[in-house]
Structure 1
Amino acid sequence: MSHTVIAAVDGSAESLAAAEWAAREARIRRLPLHILHVWQDWSPAFAHAPFTGVDTTPGEGATTTQQWAQRVSRDAADRLREGHPGLEITVEQVNGRPAEVLLSAAEKAEILVVGSRGLGSVAGFLAGSVSLPVIAHAERPVVVVRAGERAEDELRPGSGDDGDHKGQYRDVVLGLDLSRPCDELLAYAFEAAAARAATLRVVHGWSVPVVDGYDPAAADPGHGVALGLREAGTLTDVLRSWRGKFPQVEVKEQCMVGRPAGHLAEASKDASLLVVGRRIRRAAIGAHIGPVTHAVLHHVRTPVAVVPHL
């Protein structure tokens, strides 16, 4: 399933919105779409059996849960085929622990798309404990989509939609930490903007360092101005080679003082996609998301792409 967009569905409104977003993403990237539904058998026999993560194909005598699992993924695929004729769509039902199955699937995906249960919380599939571990531990990009997200929300007002979703896309916004800019994050953002023929708006938030309780900018405003010019120059330098690789992408740089999460939340209000990074940490304990990414996942309505990097 390499070079495939995978959408995890569970029949909820948020997972169906995620599947619809995944279909549009697969179309503009010219990739196949794979619909994945994970169902977990809570019968005593399964509870005492080791997790294998293998596919199960319900046959004669299938349980109600198995039959429901088949219907969820089949109905989702049928709707997407009707709305996106010509898109290659495959369907899979897997019996297992949802977080483990989705993490395994993400290893083979170009992008894994999951749903989120509304403003103020990041909840998952079948259980609220699923999506956060997937976002925190997947080593491929994971896109989080809110319930109610629509194709027209990604388009500029008045740009039109001729039925093939060819209106003009709103900006793609990238949150960039200049202390550790990484190729994986920049590549994803530029590719997403190029696929949409959209402007890439790169947002970098920075703060004047305070040493021993002393704020040099407060005593000398010129100090803050000089640091701002230095940060802006560094941002331009980091983006220079990427502009050369993607000459078709218009890039806007925003270098601002203050908390990055607040700037990204504001910038995302008129964006089609927000792209943020997550450092890969393989320790078993901890959320491994980072404060900025964690904040935007909780407070941003725009689809959020979380790109892991070293």
Structure 2
Amino acid sequence: MTQGVVVGIDGTKQAEAAAAWAADEAVLRGTGLRLVHAREPWPESDEPWAEQLLARTADGLRARHPGLSVTVGLIPSGPVPGLVAAAEEGTLLVLGSRALGSVAGYLMGSVGLSVAGVVERPVVLVRDHGDVSPRGSVTVGVDAQQPEDAALQFAFEEAERRLGSVHVVYAQQLPSYGTLGPAMVSDVRLAVAPEIERSLDDLLEPWRTKHPDVTATARVTIGSAGLELVRASGDSALMVVGRRTRRSVLGARLGSVAHAVLHHSRAPVAVVPHD
């Protein structure tokens, strides 16, 4: 088995949920699992505690998944550089994300945001919502005008592993000028949706051919892409969003849609880099 799935743990409930999700994913992929803890690089950081955490978590996952290859690694270079480096050891990095309550909304934290914004592998962020079923549908957000194959490929492959379906969501932003009432919104929807849905069907046809066991549906919504994807996440086992790898003058970063989904989606979120 290869070390296909890497998961970062730090002793929190969110990290425990991420480790459980990552183990299920490794089983679905038929690969091994690597647990890593990236500790702060100063002498007073608790290395024995970290080693015990890794060993205890690994033993629990092996008991839950007999036959699963689980290895561990303690990285002393700090959370962000350590997790970025650890991601190169596998094909998928899994991290936990924390909740701040219903008023403040969800916030991954600076480490998760920083890592997801630079890693050149797909990154999945998992919250502690109890046991998350590895089965079910996969929702992916696309831009019908500039579709990216990487996110669609990831979504179809994940749906196939889960014996689930793919739901493609495209959000059509309304014109910024003028004030549109409910009747006008309906008129705009009727005008733009059929043409875009045909484009989405054309876009999905080769993926349906490549993955004949996966049912794929496409839906056009009117409004903010981030908000519409967050709404769709409630019925999904996994949400997939893309991230451009081209760097701006500010360096690598996540786009506004990915930010919105990561902060508010209840489903695990996969951030898939693409050119």
TM-score (norm 2): 0.90
Measure, in 2, the Cα distance between the counterparts of 1:66 and 1:288: 31
Q: Secondary structure at the match of 2:262?
A: helix
Pair 197,221 (structure 1): closer, same or farther in 2 beyond 3 Å:
closer
Contact 1:208 1:227 in 2 (8 A): no
CA contact (8 A) 1:41 1:65 kept: no
2:21 alignment counterpart? 21
Residue 23 of structure 1 aligns to a residue whose secondary structure is: helix
Residue type at the aligned position of 1:262? L
Question: Structure 1 29/213 Cα, relative in aligned 2: closer, same or farther at 3 Å?
Answer: same
Which residue among 230, 237, 253 is the counterpart of 1:265? 230
1:42 paired with 2:42, answer yes
Q: 2:191 maps to which residue?
A: 226
* CA deviation profile, 1:121-162 (whole Å, cap 9, x unmatched): 434xxxx431110011111100000023413xx37xxxxxxx
CA separation in 2, counterparts of 1:122 and 1:32? 29
Q: Cα distance 1:65–1:236, how it changes in 2: closer, same or farther (>3 A)?
A: same
Highest CA radius of gyration, 1 or 2?
1
Alignment match, 1:32: 32
The residue identity in structure 1 corresponding to 2:81 is: E
Tell me what 1:87 maps to: 68
How high is the TM-score relative to the length of structure 1? 0.80
CA-atom RMSD, angstroms? Answer: 2.4
Gap regions ≥5 residues in structure 1 = 44-62, 156-168
C-alpha deviation, 1:104, in angstroms: 1.6
- Is 2:79 aligned against 1:114? no
Deviation of 1:222 after TM superposition, in Å, equals 5.5
Report the secondary structure of 1:86's partner residue.
Answer: coil
**8 A Cα contact 1:107 1:140, kept in partner:** yes
Aligned length: 270
Instruction: Provide the identity percentage.
Output: 40
- What SS does the corresponding residue of 1:130 show, helix, strand or coil? helix
Q: In structure 2, what residue type is equivalent to 1:274?
A: M
In structure 2, what is the Cα distance between the partners aligned to 1:298 and 1:287? 18
Quote the offset at 1:201 in angstroms. 0.9
Which runs of structure 2 are paired with 1:143-162 in the superposition (5 Å)? 143-151=124-132, 154=133
Query: What is aligned with 1:46?
Result: none
Tell me whether 1:73 sits opposite 2:59 in the alignment.
no
Distance verdict in 2 for CA 1:221–1:262, change over 3 Å: closer
Q: Which residue of structure 2 lines up, in the alignment, with residue 183 of structure 1?
A: 149
